[in-house]
Chains A and B, each alone.
Chain A
Amino acid sequence: MLRCASLTKTYSSAGRPLTVLNNITLDVEAGAYVAIVGPSGSGKTTLLGLLAGLDRPTSGTVSLDGQEIGALDEDGRARLRAEKIGFVFQSFQLIPTLTALENVQVPLELRGENAAGRPAELLARVGLAGRGDHYPAQLSGGEQQRVALARAFSTRPRVLFADEPTGNLDAATGATIIDLMSELNRDLGTTLVLVTHDLDLAARARRTVRLADGRLVGDTAA
């Protein structure tokens, strides 16, 4: 469903080329739960960005549902994201000027869909019924990340990319977020791609992809 072939990303750093990802080939089946792990600077986030079409690879291809992402222009990729992809970020990235409910509505509105009903249901599902009119600044970190989850699932995406989703949370709160994510993954059949350096967290995934120095060094199914 999601596959990348010979993916390489090179940055120029202080005038010298710096290879962050080196020839990564990966195939993720629908409904999978994949954790990408590795030490800091191993290229995890870069790989996530490329898989989600947020950045262009230096060479290699990424395709989602048979659609080659590299062939799309910037707006085409934006449409693809609106239709098929959800995101959860380490620093939550709620829009500070919108209420919790509005934050959940945005992806639906971007698709031109009716934004009534479902977002409120989702908020209730993540345990925030009645908090819909609070602004992000009025919510705790764990609550913000739950809103972000509701937002990510509001469009029933085919793939959810999560970048260190528990990185800014304490262990207990992090655990609830992960529980919620796996629950939604199971119930909605969403493919989950998770970047983390937390091995406990990775252990809960059904498949673990290991990176080191930009190379794929391990791919194990649980």
Chain B
Amino acid sequence: MTSIGFVLRMAARELRAAPRRLLPLTGSVAVGVAALVAIDSFTDNVRDSVRQQAQALLGADLVMSSRRPLTEAAESALTTIVASGARIARVTSFSGMAFVPRTTGTRLVQVEAVQPGYPFYGAIVTRPAEAWSGLHEGRRAVVDPTLLTALGARIGDTLSLGEARFEISGTVESAPGNTGIRTAFGPKVYIPLSQLAETKLLGFGSRAEYEAFLQVQPGRSAEAIAGRYRSPMRAQRVTVRTVSEDRNDLNESLSRLTSYLGLVALIALLLGGIGVSSAVVVFIRQRWETVAVLRCLGAGVKQVLAVYALEAAAMGLAGSLIGALGGVAAQRVLPGLLQGLLPINVDPRISWPSAALGVGVGLWVALLFAAIPLLSIRRVPPLAALRRAYESDEPRRFDGWRAAAVIAVVASTVALAAWQAGGWRRGAVFSAGVAAALLLLWGAAWSLAAAARRWAPTRWPYVWRQGLANLRRPSNQTATVILAIGFGSFLLGTLLLVQANLLRTLQLTGGPARPNLVLLDIQPDQLPAIDTMLASGGLLSVGPVPIVPMRLQSVKGRPVTAMLAETADGDGEEPRNGWAFRREYRSTYRDTLVSSERLVKGRWWTGHASPAEVSVESEVAGELGVTVGDTIVWDVQGVPVTTRVSSLRDVEWARFEPNFFVVFAPGPLEGAPQSLVTLTRIERPADRGAFQRRLAERFPNVTTLDLSSVQQTLEDLIARVVLAVRFMALFTLGTGALVLVGALATSRFQRVREGALLRTLGATRGQLFRIVVAEYLSLGLMASGAAMALALLAAWALARFLFEADFTPALVPLAGLVAAVVSLTVGVGLLNSRDVIRRPPLEVLRAE
């Protein structure tokens, strides 16, 4: 008991006297915890919002959807469900060209032809408000406001879609689930389903989705109905979705995003841990004699250890609390950053469990990282009170406690990473990655310092030599600083490179020869007229590329329908590769490979063969489990076509050229019903608009896709994701800066004395200033240089293995980052050294 009283009193007194000594510890913990709490709170809020908004997102209890008009079997199932008391509203959606005669504006739009009642849940809010309820009272259309802007139109204008004309009766202010990605291929236009036929747009080869939205009777379970119909419907290639499935899917994809952000936050916290360690190292060095005196006075090792552990814990707790507050504030920013990416509205509310968890994790990290240096207190000999700078000559033995602390740090890191990444394997991989990056940075720091020592020219000016020498002063913090600054800049650098590379890969319209306008759904009989139009405008074109829609009938002799029904029999879960069997393939035929393709197996065809030859994209071949030599039978508009896989291809999808999962050898498909795609390039946006307009007037069924606007949307989306990640990475750099401040404080006293000494010996303020600049400049250059080398490596690996693209380093932004990091380091260094330069030497020397 007395021992506890002593420990508490001592710790309280010490903290009262000098809490400032442990401020770097508090700060490091605070920033890390803030990052963690921000992202966890946000994740929590996202999950909440998904739970609340999932029903509105789906708009119904149950949705059946298909890429083709529902089959008879599906229709009879619907009839049965409706007979049991469910309400139904059908929606057919497709892409088409909208045209406003008054302004002659044309634009690719997403048409949603809806029946009254849709949506059953969630509201489509329109302006004027009655526009939605009045949609079905005539030939009316409710449109996305961006369409009005794009076409220069206003409410009341006539909008033509195919051969039908609609009155624009209102705009959509908000609709559940509208995201930037969904509007990438055109703004939405809602029309009554009853008017769809008038447009005559759903001709052959159009890509449309046919959906039936169902609201079940109160008290009946949508899940039960879905469970009953899911398997038989799958065989009809009809997908059955319910709210809970939708919610799970959404949660899964959102948690992927938030777990990436969470891992970046974790890095901030781990760097904070390094900050804690370095702060405690400094602290113990200052307390070395006090510890020795306490030991002389009869304090036990455990008592002294407990005093300082308690202090570290108190400061760690303070940091965690401050961090939790900061995190709660910071999470309000995240929904704004991710606007347009999330299909739901995220309400930034305070998540107490996340805050509490953050405080707990912060305290744990503080204690753990403090423990490693704290344990050295046990080695403080009481004799150190008698002799300053006494070093025990006892050999350093293996220290079980220290080893345990190190193991606990590693285990905790893996556990935290597993928690953030959602899985032990991923947690371990992440931890290994962080460890590798830290090791590489540390190695770079060490070898650079060693190189500086060995090869630093002795003829350099004195201030430079002194500055460099400071990097290896006794008890220097060079390695800590390089780790702290380096890791943050490594993350930011990688981000910068990946973003730049991604944007370059997605240069859809890059290069003067690349097409920027895609003409889709051309019917064969329209081709000559369109060719004439292109030729008269002096436009070069790529294509036409024929497209034949088809489905799989059998793979390697096994009927696909049976396979789909069979896999559904078990637990009702569709296997991961189910999509490959179920999907509609839009295939082409030609006799050559195109530039975005690469043959990886088999041989390209040279003549006609029987059965017909096909080349399958390598990934989809993997999903289907086919390889060269296997037989696939296709259902081409009801006609079975037997083929043999003669080669596998890799396809560079990011090129945005007409690419295909399956390419047929010319011959068997030539007579099949098909539509055609042509690409062209029109330089000026105004000309592009005019061409689209003329085309829409003459051939309403032909859809034109303006790749430059798609690219704009994609760039915006990437910028948003990058912004969110960068926001989190800034926490890492923030922790890095704090660790830097803490690490530099280590040698502050020594520096002030040295500075005073140098000035007594005749050094000017200018010389001292230059010494400090030289030191921090080299430190900043080392840290950022090593970090950028690592970032280049990481970005190259990401580009090569994750994005499967070529890597071209963006050196200019990288140089900018190096400049920023170096300025930060020098700035902090100068701030830390202001006393060295400013204080009169006498004052310093007398203070000792």
Considering only CB atoms, which chain A residue lies closest to B299 in the complex?
A: A110
Query: Which residues of B are found within 8 Å of A96, using beta-carbon distances?
Result: 17, 290
Residue of B nearest to A106 (CB): B297
- Chain B residues lying within 8 Å of A199, measured Cβ to Cβ, are none
A60 proximal to B (CB < 8 A):
no
B290, A79: Cβ atoms under 8 Å? no
> Residue on A with the closest CB to B298?
A82
What distance in Å separates the Cβ of A185 from its nearest Cβ neighbour in chain B?
A: 19
Taking a contact as CB atoms under 8 Å apart, the answer to whether B297 and A82 are in contact is yes
Which of A45, A55, A110, A163 meets B381, CB within 8 Å? A55
Do the beta carbons of A93 and B293 come within 8 Å of each other?
Answer: yes
Instruction: Evaluate whether A135 and B17 lie within 8 angstroms (CB atoms) in the complex, with A11-B393, A87-B296, A109-B6 already known.
Output: yes
Q: Does B14 contact A (CB under 8 A)?
A: yes
Task: Report if A71 contacts B (CB, 8 A).
Answer: no
| Alpha-carbon separation in the docked complex, A135 to B17 (Å) | 9
Q: Are B298 and A12 in contact (CB under 8 A)?
A: no
Identity of the chain A residue whose Cβ is nearest the Cβ of B286 in the assembled complex = A96
Q: Is the interface of B mostly helix, strand, loop or mixed?
A: helix
Within 273-319 of B, Cβ neighbours of A (below 8 Å) are at: 289-290, 292-303
Q: Contacts A89-B385, A95-B293 known; A111 to B298 CB distance under 8 Å? A: yes
A169 contacts the other chain (CB 8 A): no
B297 pairs with A107, CB closer than 8 A: yes
CB atoms of B298 and A112 under 8 A apart: no
1/0 contact string of A174-205 vs chain B (CB within 8 Å): 00000000000000000000000000000000
In the complex, B52 has a CB within 8 A of chain A: no
Pairwise interchain contact B386-A45, C-beta atoms closer than 8 A: yes
CA distance in complex: A74, B296 (Å): 11
Whether B299 contacts A82 by the Cβ 8 Å rule is: yes
- Complex: A70 Cα to B790 Cα, angstroms: 55
Contact residues in B for A81 (Cβ distance below 8 Å): 295-298, 382
- Which residue in A49, A55, A79, A102 is a CB contact (below 8 Å) of B298? A79
Q: Does A85 contact B (CB under 8 A)?
A: yes
Nearest B residue to A135, CB-CB: B17
A213 contacts chain B at the CB level, 8 A cutoff: no
B606: chain A residues at CB < 8 Å are: none
Report if A91 contacts B (CB, 8 A): yes
Q: How many angstroms between the C-alpha atoms of A80 and B296 in the bound complex?
A: 10
Q: Is the CB of A87 within 8 A of B297?
A: yes
Q: Assuming the A-B contacts A85-B298, A93-B293, are A110 and B393 also in contact, with contact meaning beta carbons closer than 8 angstroms in the complex?
A: no
For B378, the closest partner residue in chain A by CB is: A74
**A153 CB, nearest partner CB in chain B, Å:** 12
Out of A89, A97, A109, name the residue touching B18 (CB < 8 Å). A97
Q: How far is the CA of A163 from the CA of B385 in the complex (A)?
A: 10
* A77→B428 CA distance, assembly (Å): 45
A32 is an interface residue with CB less than 8 A from chain B: no
Chain B: minimal CB distance from A150 (Å): 13
Tell me the minimal C-beta distance from B312 to chain A in angstroms.
Answer: 15
Alpha-carbon separation in the docked complex, A44 to B13 (Å): 35
Given A95-B290, A112-B3, A163-B386, are A74 and B297 neighbors across the interface (CB < 8 Å)?
A: no
A217 contacts the other chain (Cβ, under 8 Å)?
no
For B6, give its contact among A52, A55, A85, A110 (CB under 8 Å).
A110
Interface size (B, Cβ < 8 Å)? Answer: 34
User: 8 Å CB contacts to A: which residues of B1-38?
Assistant: 1-3, 5-6, 9-10, 13-14, 16-18
Q: Tell me if A5 is interfacial: C-beta within 8 Å of chain B.
A: no
- Smallest CB separation, A50 vs chain B (Å): 9
User: Is A48 an interface residue when CB atoms closer than 8 A count as contact?
Assistant: yes
Name the residue of chain B whose CB is nearest to the CB of A82. Answer: B298
Among the listed B289, B300, B385, which residue makes an inter-chain contact with A75, where contact means beta carbons less than 8 Å apart?
B300
B383 at the interface (CB under 8 A from A): yes
Complex contact B298–A98 (CB within 8 A) = no
Residue of B nearest to A137 (CB): B847
A211 vs B816: C-alpha distance when bound (angstroms): 68
Which of B290, B382, B383, B393 has a CB less than 8 Å from the CB of A97?
B290
Contact B299 A112 (CB under 8 A): no
Give the A-B contact count at a CB cut-off of 8 A: 93
Of A49, A54, A97, A110, which one neighbours B17 at CB under 8 angstroms? A97
Task: Tell me if B846 counts as interface (CB < 8 A to partner A).
Answer: no
B385 touches A87 (CB 8 A): yes
Q: How far is the CA of A183 from the CA of B163 in the complex (A)?
A: 117
| B289 surroundings in chain A (CB, below 8 A) | 93
Q: Is B388 in contact with chain A by the CB < 8 A criterion?
A: yes
In the assembled complex, the Cα of A89 lies from the Cα of B385 at a distance in Å of: 8
Chain A residues within an 8 Å CB radius of B383:
49, 54-55
Shortest beta-carbon distance from A70 to chain B in Å: 15
Query: Cβ of B13 and Cβ of A102 under 8 Å apart?
Result: yes
Chain B residues, CB < 8 A from A102: 13
Return the chain B residue nearest A13 by Cβ. Answer: B393
Q: How far is the CB of B289 from chain A (nearest CB, A)?
A: 6
Name the contact of A49 in the complex, choosing from B2, B16, B386 (C-beta under 8 A).
B386
A78 neighbours in B (Cβ, 8 Å): 295, 298-301
CB-CB < 8 A to A87: which residues of B? 296-297, 385
B21 and chain A: residue at smallest CB distance: A97
Q: Which residues of A contact B295 (CB under 8 A)?
A: 78, 81
Chain B positions within 8 Å of A79 at CB level = 298, 300
CB distance from B122 to the nearest CB of A (A): 62
Residues on A with beta carbons closer than 8 Å to the beta carbon of B2: 109, 111-112
Q: Tell me how far the C-beta of A94 lies from the nearest C-beta in chain B, rounded to whole angstroms.
A: 8
How many Å lie between the Cα of A181 and that of B383 in the bound state?
Answer: 22
A110 to B294, CA, bound (A): 9
CB closest chain-B residue, reference A85: B298
Q: Are A54 and B298 neighbours in the complex by a CB distance under 8 Å?
A: no
B204 to chain A, nearest CB (A): 87
> In the complex, how many angstroms separate the beta carbon of A168 from the nearest chain B beta carbon?
12
From A97, which residue of chain B is reached at the shortest CB distance? B17
User: Using Cβ atoms and an 8 Å threshold, which residues of chain B touch A109?
Assistant: 2, 5-6, 9-10
Residues on the B chain within 8 Å of A83, using CB: 298
CB distance from A42 to the nearest CB of B (A): 14
A110 to B18, CA, bound (A): 22
Cα–Cα distance between A71 and B9 once the two chains are bound (Å) = 31
Q: Are A75 and B302 in contact (CB under 8 A)?
A: yes
Is B454 an interface position by the 8 A CB rule?
A: no
The yes or no answer to B387 lying at the interface (CB within 8 A) is: yes
B296 touches A91 (CB 8 A): no
Q: Chain A's nearest CB lies how many Å from the CB of B292? A: 8
Nearest CB of B to A114, in Å: 10
Q: Tell me whether A112 and B6 are in contact (CB under 8 A).
A: yes
Beta-carbon contact of A91 and B294 below 8 Å? no
* Cβ-closest chain A residue relative to B289: A93
Q: Which residues of B contact A45 (CB under 8 A)?
A: 386-387
Contacts of A80 in B (CB 8 A): 298
User: With A and B bound together, what is the CA distance between A83 and B13 in angstroms?
Assistant: 23
Across the interface, which residues of B come within 8 angstroms of A82, CB to CB?
297-299
* CA–CA, A112 and B14, complex, Å: 19
Residues A89 and B386 in contact, CB atoms below 8 Å apart? yes
Residues of chain A from 121 to 166 with CB closer than 8 A to chain B in the complex: 135, 151, 163
Bound CA span A155–B733, Å: 52
Q: Which of A106, A112, A135 contacts B5 (CB 8 A)?
A: A112
Q: Which residues of A contact B9 (CB under 8 A)?
A: 109
C-alpha spacing A49/B292, complex, angstroms: 12
B300: chain A residues at CB < 8 Å are 74-75, 78-79
Smallest CB–CB gap between A154 and chain B, Å? 10
Closest 6 pairs between A and B when the two form their complex, measured CB to CB: A82-B298, A112-B2, A97-B17, A81-B298, A54-B382, A54-B383
- Seen from chain A, the residues whose Cβ lies within 8 Å of a Cβ on chain B are 11-12, 45, 48-49, 52, 54-55, 74-75, 78-83, 85, 87, 89, 91, 93-98, 102, 106-107, 109-112, 135, 151, 163
Provide 20 A-B residue pairs closer than 8 Å at the C-beta atoms, listed in order of the A residue.
A52-B296, A54-B296, A54-B382, A54-B386, A78-B300, A78-B301, A79-B300, A81-B297, A82-B299, A93-B292, A95-B294, A96-B17, A97-B16, A98-B17, A102-B13, A106-B10, A110-B294, A110-B297, A110-B299, A111-B2
